[in-house]
Amino acid sequence: MLVIVAPGQGSQTPGFLTPWLEDPSFAARIDWLSAVAGLDLAHYGTEADADAIRDTAVAQPLLVASGLVAALALFPHPADGFAAVGAAAGHSVGEITAAAAVRVITAEQAMVFVRERGRGMAEAAAKESTGMTAVLGGDPDDVLATLGRHGLTPANVNGAGQVVAAGTVAQLEALAGDPPQGARLRALSVAGAFHTTHMASAVKRLRHYAQSISTHDPRTLLLSNRDGQVVHDGRQVLDRLVDQVSNPVRWDLCMETMADLGVTGVLEMPPAGTLTGLAKRALPGVETFALKTPDQLDAARAFVEQHGGQPSALATNPTWRLVIAPVKGTFAAGGAKTGDHLAAGDTVGTVSSLRDAVEVTAGHGGTIIEWLVEDGDPVAPGQPLVRLHPEAVA
C-alpha cells in the first residue's frame, strides 16, 4: 500500500522551487495559485532568503501550493492517483495539501484557507513572545511530565523520539534549565507557539471563513493529525483543519495508522525529507521516497507503481453511501438492522482497540441496505462497515 504525505512548516528551504519552475506548466499553475493567495510564490520559492520564507504568512501558502502542483506533475491524470494511492496525510499545514489532493476542497479553496491561516497565526504570534523547542530522545513519559511541569504544550508528537514543546519564552527558558533526563533540546526558528491555545484568535478567524467553504467527502483514505483516525466526512475534515491550529499534531498516531493499514511505501511531496526521515525510524521495513526535484519524477512514478495499486474502497464506492472504521480494532454493532433508517450523527457502533474505543457515527442520513461486517469482526482503518441508501435532500 502506498501513502502520500505532505510536509509542514520548517521543511521549506531557499530556492527549492527553482528546478520545478523550469517546467512551463508547473510555473503557470504556481502563477495561478499565487493570484489566488495574493503572493508571488515563484519569487518566494526561488529568490527569497531563509528569513523571508520563514514568515508564517509566506511559508504556509508556499508549502501548500508547491505540494499540490507537484502532485499534478506526479499524476497528470488525477484519476491515476486515486487508483494507486491507498491513503494520504499531511503534517500540520501539510494536512491542507492532503485534503485538497483527495478532493475534500479545491486547490483555490485551499489557497484562500491557508492564506488566512498563515495571516491569522502570524497575528496571534505577534501578541505575545512565544516559541517552540524540539525535544529529542528521553523517556516519553518523562518528557511529557517535564513539559507539563513547565506549563508547556506537546504541540507536535512526531514519533521516533521527537516531541516539540510550545509555550511562552519564559516557559521554554525554564525547560532549557530543567530538561528531561537523557533528552536533547533544539530551539526552533518559528514565529510562535503553534498548535497551542496561543493560536485561539486564528481559530476564530478560520472558523468564520470555513462557514463559506463547500466540501466533498475524500476520494482516498485521509488520516487526521488530531488522533491518526481515518476521516471520510468532508465537513468533519474541514472542522478538524480549523481546530488543528490550536491543538497538538499527533503525527505519531498517523504513523501508527499507516502501520495498521499495512503500508509498504511512503512518498513525501516537496519540499520532502522531514516526514520520510520520521517514517524510516518509526516504520521499519517500509520503503520511503522523498520527492525533492523534478528529475526524480520518473523514479517516483516507478515507486508508485511498485507500492500502489491498492486503492481504498472510497475510490471505487460513493463515499456518501458508506460508513467506515476510523481506526483498527474490533467492531461492536450498535443494534441497527438492515432496513433501519439512520439520521446523520446516529451511532452505528464502536471500534475498540488496545488504546481506546471510538464511536462510529453516520456522516449522512440514510437507510441501511447492507452490513459489510458483523458484530465482533476485526476491522482495519478505513474499512467500510455498512452501506446506506442516502435520504432525499430538499
Active-site residue numbers?
92, 195
Helix (H, G, I), strand (E, B) or coil at 133: strand
* Cβ atoms of 7 and 272 closer than 8 Å: yes
- Whether 329 and 351 have beta carbons less than 8 Å apart is answered as yes
How far is residue 257's CA from residue 228's CA, in Å, rounded to a whole number?
A: 6
Give CA–CA dist 387/356, Å, rounded: 25
Distance CA 214, CA 220 (A): 18
Q: What is the DSSP letter of 127?
A: T
Count CB-CB contacts under 10 A for residue 279.
25
DSSP conformation class of 230: B
What's 24's DSSP letter? H
Task: Report yes or no: 295 and 71 within 8 Å, Cβ to Cβ.
Answer: no
Give the integer Cα–Cα distance in Å for 321 and 313.
12
- 327's CB contacts (< 8 A; 6+ apart) are 228, 229, 230, 257, 260, 351, 353, 358, 381
User: What is the grid cell recorded at 315?
Assistant: 475510490
CA dist., res. 5 & res. 10, Å (int): 15
Q: Strand 87-90 and strand 2-6: pairing?
A: parallel
